[in-house]
Amino acid sequence: MDDRQIVVDGDACPVKQEIAAVAKALGVPVLMVSSFDHLIQAGEGVRTVQVDRSDQSADLYIANHIRRGDVVITQDYGLAALALSKHCYVLSFRGMQFHNEDIEFMLDRRHHQAKARRNGKHSKGPKPITAEDKRIFQQKLTKLLQDLQENV
C-alpha cells in the first residue's frame, strides 16, 4: 500500500493552491506545516499543523514526521538535506528537485552567502514567483507523483 504524503514547509509557500490541486487530482494526502505567524487553511485532502513561532520549529516538526517516500516541498536547503537523508523526494517552490549529489554544494553556497551578508554584502534575493513559475511547479509535481505511483 502506498501511504506517501506531500509535506509542505508552509511558511511563505507561494504554491499552496497548486499543491492542493495536484494532490486532490492524484489522491495524495497533504500535510502543510507552518508557524502560528502564517495563516494556512485545511481543505479536502489537506491537513494543517501549526507550530510555535520560534526559529526552525516548522522544519523540526517536518523532519520528525516525514517518512521514506514522502514528497517534501521546501525552499530550505537544511530541511531538504534532512529529507533526502530520510529517503524523501524534495521539490523547491519553483519545481526544482533536490538530489543528494547537489545538496552539499547548495548548503556550502548558503553558508558563504550568509557569511557575505554578515559582512555587509547584500544581494537582491530571488525574483518573485510568477504565474508561469506556478504552472511549471504544478507540472513538475504532477510528473513526480505520477512517476512514483507508476513505480509502486
- At 66-125, the pLDDT tens digits run 999 999 999 888 899 999 999 999 999 999 999 877 866 555 565 556 666 677 777 666
C-alpha cell at 85: 537523508
pTM of the model: 0.84
Give alpha helix (H) positions in the chain.
16-26, 57-65, 77-85, 100-118, 131-150
The pLDDT, as a whole number, for residue 1 is 38
